[in-house]
Structures are given as structure tokens and as C-alpha cells.
């Protein structure tokens, strides 16, 4: 076990974790960030970001992540490459069990993020950022006046199709069943001339052109077995997310999908433990909302520690 008792331990170094660490360190709290991979989370794997305030034009996600890391460290935040395996959160000292040993802290900010659920197709990962996207509000503007497909049948997929219909020439909504899982309110919203729902179909293959970019998809009808190809410029996968919260099971309340149930104040219900970013239940997951969560969590953590000293 590391002997030092930190004021704040931040789990995850995506935009939420990096911002939380920045705000904690700037407030004079001894702060350690724990990240099992490289800093930045999903942001660092995004080649083109054009909707982060203050960065006009297209920004590289890796560069933005590195700037956030350096800014947090400039105020004294310390980063450790460590995967958190479990938590012991009872009492005033919280213990984070990692592969590299145990970390003790007076409060904990959980920001492990979430990863989009993939279709599992062979070339899907290689085409990410080259026509395959998991965030319509992030990347939709790159497909103005083009033809795209949204894969999925839930609220997110329906909302993505509606959003993209205002930008794209044509939007296919591909769903494996004959009825959407999305709430009934989307039925009317999807009645647009440039939106076509493709029922009972799954994507068998993402097609690519000689430049290594998406050129379409091959679909299979699950009832008839018939296949057809759609010519597309982009594929938006909206089949759910997987929050990286397994390590917190039994220690912090989670909802049925595995997200932390922290509210807008980021408090989880466990004293001294806060959740920020894509790992918590929320209506919008963007870099800017993750960063905002991190700031709120740091503020709440600072208030908690002040109360403990009284």
C-alpha cells in the first residue's frame, strides 16, 4: 500500500477525470489520477473534433487530451498508470485497489468513462473515423448533404436519425426487428422524406472504397435471408454503450445498465464519492459535458473535505 494519503483520487483520465484533477489540484488538494491506458479516453482516439468550445476548426483529440493532461499536471496533479480493480469506501479513508498496489484518499471521483458498443464486424475498428462513427452529434456535420445509415432501434438511434435528417441528404435507420424499441414519441419525428427505416435487417459487412473509407454496407434480412447493399458515406452505430464500472460493483450504486446513478451534483450516495462523465446516467455524452461534470465533481469534493474538517 502506498503510504501517502491523498486528498482526492480520480479514477480515469478522460475529459471528466482530467478536468476534475485540474480543478482539485488548483484548489490546493493533493490529487492523483489513475488511468489504466493513456490519458484522454475516447477523446484521444477521435481524429477530428470540431465542437469543443474555444477550438475553432478541426482539433485532434489526442492533442486536446495532451493539453488537458499537461494543464492538470501544471497545478500539481499526479498521474499513475494503474487499473483500479476494486474499491473499499467505508470510513474517512477510501482505498482503491489497483494492480500496482493500494491507493488511499480522503475522497474519490469516479470518471472511468464508457465505450460505445460495437457491431463486431472485421473492419469496423479500422474504419472508425473513416466513415464509422458512434456519435451523431459529434460527427454529423462531416456528412452534410451525404447519405448515411444509423444502426440501432432504441432512443439513441432514433434521435440520431432525426438529428442527421437535418444535415444529410438521406438517412437509413437499420433495425434488426420489425418494431423500434425507441419511445413512441419518435414515430412522428421519423416521418421525414429523407428518412427510410430498414426493418428486420442486420449489417453483415461494412464496405470500403480504394481510399480505405466507408462506401456502404451489406445488409441481411433476418427473416428472408436476402441481402442488399446500400451506398453510403457514413455509418453511425447506435446500439448502446458499455460503462467501465465493473470495478465499482457492490461499492457504489449502479443502475440496471451499469451506470452510476449520481445526479447533477455528481454525488453517488456514498459519502465522499462522486461520479463524472460518460460513466454516470445522463441525457447527453459529449466532451464538453464530461468536462463540466469533472468541474462539478471537484467542487463537490472540495466542499465535502471542508465539511469533514469542521
| Residues catalogued as catalytic | 135, 138-139
Question: Measured between alpha carbons, how far is 245 from 285 in angstroms, rounded to an integer?
Answer: 16
Q: 118-237 — its CATH code?
A: 3.50.50.60
Sorted by where each begins, the domain ranges of the chain are: 5-115+241-309, 118-237
List 31's β-bridge partners, or say none.
8
Compute the CA torsion angle 96, 302, 17, 249 (nearest 10 deg). Answer: 40
Give the containing element (helix H, strand E) for 224.
none
Contact 22, 68 (CB under 8 A): yes
Q: 90 vs 251, 303, 305, CA distance in Å?
A: 9, 19, 15
The pLDDT score that the predictor gives to residue 39 is 87
Domains 5-115+241-309 and 118-237 share a fold: yes
Report the alpha-carbon angle 18-267-9, nearest 5: 40
What pTM was estimated for this model as a whole?
0.77
The pLDDT score that the predictor gives to residue 1 is 57
Give the architecture-level CATH label for domain 5-115+241-309. Answer: 3-Layer(bba) Sandwich (3.50)
The pLDDT score that the predictor gives to residue 47 is 67
Contact 7, 30 (CB under 8 A): yes
In a structure prediction context, what are the per-residue pLDDT tens digits for the chain, which is 310 residues long? 567 999 999 999 999 999 999 999 999 999 999 998 888 888 887 767 878 899 888 888 889 999 999 999 999 999 999 999 999 999 899 999 998 899 999 999 999 998 889 999 999 999 999 999 998 988 999 999 999 999 999 988 998 999 999 999 999 999 999 999 888 888 899 999 999 999 999 999 999 999 999 999 999 999 999 999 999 999 999 998 899 999 999 999 999 999 999 989 999 999 999 999 999 998 888 899 999 999 999 999 999 999 988 7
The pLDDT score that the predictor gives to residue 37 is 82
Report the alpha-carbon angle 150-155-157, nearest 5: 5
**Residue 135 contacts by C-beta under 8 Å, 6 or more apart in sequence?**
116, 236, 285, 286
The pLDDT score that the predictor gives to residue 2 is 67
Read off the C-alpha cell for 186. 419518435
Question: Measured between alpha carbons, how far is 50 from 288 in angstroms, rounded to an integer?
Answer: 12
The pLDDT score that the predictor gives to residue 97 is 96
Question: Measured between alpha carbons, how far is 153 from 284 in angstroms, rounded to an integer?
Answer: 18
Amino acid at each position: 500500500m502506498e503510504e501517502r494519503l491523498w486528498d482526492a483520487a480520480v479514477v480515469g483520465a478522460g475529459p471528466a477525470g482530467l478536468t476534475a484533477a485540474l480543478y482539485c489540484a488548483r484548489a490546493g488538494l493533493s490529487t492523483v489520477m489513475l488511468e489504466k491506458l493513456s490519458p484522454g479516453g475516447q477523446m484521444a482516439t477521435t481524429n477530428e473534433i470540431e465542437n469543443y468550445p474555444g477550438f475553432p476548426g478541426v482539433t485532434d483529440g489526442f492533442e486536446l487530451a495532451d493539453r488537458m493532461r499537461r494543464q492538470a499536471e501544471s497545478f500539481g496533479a499526479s498521474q499513475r498508470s494503474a487499473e483500479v480493480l476494486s474499491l473499499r469506501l467505508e470510513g474517512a479513508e477510501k482505498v482503491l485497489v489497483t494492480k500496482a498496489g493500494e491507493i488511499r484518499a480522503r475522497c474519490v471521483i469516479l470518471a472511468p468513462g464508457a465505450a460505445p458498443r460495437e457491431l463486431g464486424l472485421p473492419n469496423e475498428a479500422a474504419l472508425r473515423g473513416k466513415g464509422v462513427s458512434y456519435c451523431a452529434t459529434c460527427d454529423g456535420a462531416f456528412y452534410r448533404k451525404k447519405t448515411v445509415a444509423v444502426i440501432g432501434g432504441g432512443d439513441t438511434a432514433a434521435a440520431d436519425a432525426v438529428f442527421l435528417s437535418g444535415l444529410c441528404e438521406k438517412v437509413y435507420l437499420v433495425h434488426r426487428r420489425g418494431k423500434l424499441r425507441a419511445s413512441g414519441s419518435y414515430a412522428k419525428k421519423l416521418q421525414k422524406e429523407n428518412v427510410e427505416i430498414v426493418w428486420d435487417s442486420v449489417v453483415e459487412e461494412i464496405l470500403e472504397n480504394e481510399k480505405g473509407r466507408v462506401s456502404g454496407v451489406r445488409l441481411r434480412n433476418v427473416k428472408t435471408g436476402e441481402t442488399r447493399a446500400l451506398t453510403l458515406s457514413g455509418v453511425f452505430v447506435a446500439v448502446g454503450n458499455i460503462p467501465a464500472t465493473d470495478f465499482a460493483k457492490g461499492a457504489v450504486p449502479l443502475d440496471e445498465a451499469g451506470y452510476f446513478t449520481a445526479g447533477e451534483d455528481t454525488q453517488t450516495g456514498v459519502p465522499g464519492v462522486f461520479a463524472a462523465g460518460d460513466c454516470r446516467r445522463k441525457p447527453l455524452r459529449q466532451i464538453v459535458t464530461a468536462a463540466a461534470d469533472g468541474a462539478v465533481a471537484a467542487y463537490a469534493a472540495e466542499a465535502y473535505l471542508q465539511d469533514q474538517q469542521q
